[in-house]
Amino acid sequence: MAPPPERGTFKFDKYYLVMEALRASGAPVTEHAPEPMPRRWLEAVHDPAYVDEVFRAAVPRDKERRIGFPVTPHIASRVRHTNGGTWLAAQLALEHGYAANSAAGSHHALHDTGAGYCVFNDLAVCANRLIAEGDARRILIVDCDVHQGDGTASLTATRSDIFTLSFHAEKNFPVRKARSDCDVGLADGTDDGGYLAALERHLPGIIERFEPDLVLYQAGVDPHADDR
């Protein structure tokens, strides 16, 4: 959808490669093309001035440095569509029980800036809109990326109807962690058994107590020991 910018180290081809792998797997996958996320939905969570900077592809260089790549017109279009994809996946999940967005989970984006290769926080934007539309009363966001979902935690900190649960490496980015509703910091070298034990120790009880209508799962694959 968007060619990679000339500056930055983010591997934009990974989303295409994920879809190619799914198509080649023989798994029964139905693909859907999202509409771009409406501007007013983004502005309900992010600073309207920052949203305008992204839409005009006029993001200041200091913010682009925090994001990790320049926000070109192509990138501006791309992030609107990836946010729209999370919204579409949530609607499909409510109808069918499960759906996924292959290019989302931008959990570092903050109120007035992007960060950590994230421009708009699709998790917070989607959760906010689902509740505003009456599609859900309570939403649980489960984040299993190796990095804490600091942006999501910050953007939903005052919300009693959105619960954030983050499993992450305690000594990884971001250095200064936000406060999720439940943070589970794991030591480097945690093996599969230890990781699954942490999930089993926290997740079932939170689901039982919070009773979410929908779970948004940030399925970060970078906890893998061989991830680079």
pLDDT tens figures, 14-43: 777 888 888 999 889 899 999 999 999 999
Q: Could you please report the per-residue DSSP string of 142-187?
A: EE-SSS--HHHHHHTTT-SSEEEEEEEETTSS-SS----SEEEEE-
> Angle of helix 73-96 relative to helix 48-55, nearest 10 degrees?
120
**224 belongs to a structural domain:** no
Residue type, 162: I
Helix (H, G, I), strand (E, B) or coil at 218: strand
The mean-pLDDT minimum among 93-97, 111-115, 163-167, 186-190 falls in 186-190
Instruction: Report the CATH number at residue 184.
Output: 3.40.800.20
Q: Do 184 and 166 meet the contact criterion of CB atoms below 8 Å apart?
A: yes
Q: Could you report the per-residue pLDDT of 89-108, keeping only the tens digit for each?
A: 999 999 999 999 988 999 99
Report the distance separating Cα 214 and Cα 223, nearest Å: 24
| Structural domain includes residue 5 | no
Show Cβ contacts of residue 58 under 8 Å, excluding neighbours closer than 6 positions: none
* Total tally of structural domains belonging to the chain: 1
Do 217 and 142 meet the contact criterion of CB atoms below 8 Å apart? yes
- Flag whether 8 is in a domain: no
Query: Does residue 226 lie within any of the structural domains?
Result: no
Binned at pLDDT 50, 70 and 90, residue 224 comes out as confident
Q: What is the mean pLDDT of residues 169-178?
A: 86
Does the pLDDT value for residue 221 go beyond 80?
A: no
**Residue 227 maps to a domain:** no
The residues, any chain, with a CB within 8 Å of residue 97's CB and separated by 6 or more, are none
Give residue-wise pLDDT tens across range 115-155.
999 999 999 999 999 999 999 999 999 999 898 999 999 99
Nearest to 103 by CA among 85, 115, 130: 85
> Do the domain assignments include residue 7?
no
One-letter amino acid for residue 104 of the chain: A
Range of the domain at 18: 14-218
Confirm whether 75 is domain-assigned: yes
Q: Is residue 148 in a domain?
A: yes
Q: Helices in the chain by DSSP H: which ranges?
A: 14-25, 39-43, 48-55, 61-67, 73-96, 122-132, 150-155, 192-210
Contacts of 135 (CB under 8 A, 6+ apart): 90, 91, 94, 213, 214
Binned at pLDDT 50, 70 and 90, residue 10 comes out as low
Q: Judge whether 133 and 157 are in contact, CB under 8 Å.
A: no
At residue 4, the 3 state secondary structure works out as coil
Whose structure tokens read 């792998």?
21
